[in-house]
Amino acid sequence: MKLIRHGANGDERPGLVDAGGTLRDLSGLVRDIAGPALSRESLDRLRRLDPENLPALPADTRLGPCVGGTRHVVAVGLNYKDHAAEAGMAIPSEPILFGKAPSCLCGANDPLILPKGSAKTDWEIELAMVIGARASYVHANEALDYVAGLCIMNDVSEREWQLERGGTWSKGKGCPTFGPLGPWLVTLDEVPDLKALGMRLDLNGERMQTGSTATMIFDLAQIVAYVSHFTMLEPGDVITTGTPPGVGMGRKPQRFLKSGDELVLAIDGLGEQRQTVIAFDDWTAKVAAGEPTN
């Protein structure tokens, strides 16, 4: 099952994608793709629906972040062997964790805004998990029972702020639009082999990242169990699980995003994201002029 949140920014409504790819509205059945709607019981009820009985939505409907009510966005760094090699860093013995501000989350195809003063904004395609039930001190052999589904995240990162300004990585990770999430949330029963998902990111039509979850250091169950020993996870929380090689920071010479760039991201079975990069000042000028911003 593929779940969506559709509509204007900040006023998204729940929906799903039927087998034929038509977007359907769920507003009359659940309040949001958030909280209780992510429980196993709720998901089972939604699976039993006949999508043909749900209102169809226009194909060009804006899709917001595929989950609402997120309180924590936990990210895992250096979780792919080939990316660690690219970065010239040792394989970690335990997952490296950092936080992204929930306010960074946006729709999969929303504009990516370069923050004021940014010089080194970078891309990172990642597989993200959405938590469906409260998780605290869970074991790896039961950890996936707490996961409502998977989606794509672009873990956008300002490298100068992340690595050259002291303190923690988080200051380069949480700017508005630094967490495109979706386009949809795919329940685990519809995801192919979790340990062999292909991942791709193109910049202006040029392939930058090609990877697979096969090179993950810590798998999804290990990550959920590990994180749950340091914080209580709640329904709607997001864990994003690291990126394969090919980020701009790792290229020779390094390459970073500029206004007008176009990104396309895809993971097997999880759909595709498309983002246009826009400078902060250009974005604010569009807003002031009342121009469309999605």
What's the pTM?
0.96
DSSP assigned state of 44: H
Tens of each residue's pLDDT in the chain, 294 residues: 999 999 999 999 999 999 999 999 999 899 999 999 999 999 999 999 999 999 999 999 999 999 999 999 999 999 999 888 887 888 999 999 999 999 999 999 999 999 999 999 999 999 999 999 999 999 999 999 999 999 999 999 999 999 999 888 889 999 999 999 999 999 999 998 999 999 999 999 999 999 999 999 999 999 999 999 999 999 999 999 999 999 999 999 999 999 999 999 999 999 999 999 999 998 888 888 888 777
3 assigned to some structural domain: no
Helix, strand, or coil here: 23?
Answer: strand
126 assigned to some structural domain: yes
Q: Phi, psi (5° rounding) for residue 203?
A: -120, 115
Using CA atoms, how far apart are residues 76 and 83, in angstroms rounded to an integer?
12
pLDDT for 84: 83
pLDDT for 206: 98
154 assigned to some structural domain: yes
83 assigned to some structural domain: yes
pLDDT for 209: 98
41 assigned to some structural domain: no
Widest CA span of the chain, in angstroms? 54
Domain hosting 184: range is: 64-288
Q: Provide the number of structural domains found in the chain.
A: 1
Return all residues near 77 (Cβ < 8 A) that are at least 6 apart: 92, 96, 97, 98, 169, 242
Sign of CA dihedral 163, 165, 170, 173: negative
pLDDT for 204: 98
DSSP assigned state of 217: S
CATH number at residue 102: 3.90.850.10
180 assigned to some structural domain: yes
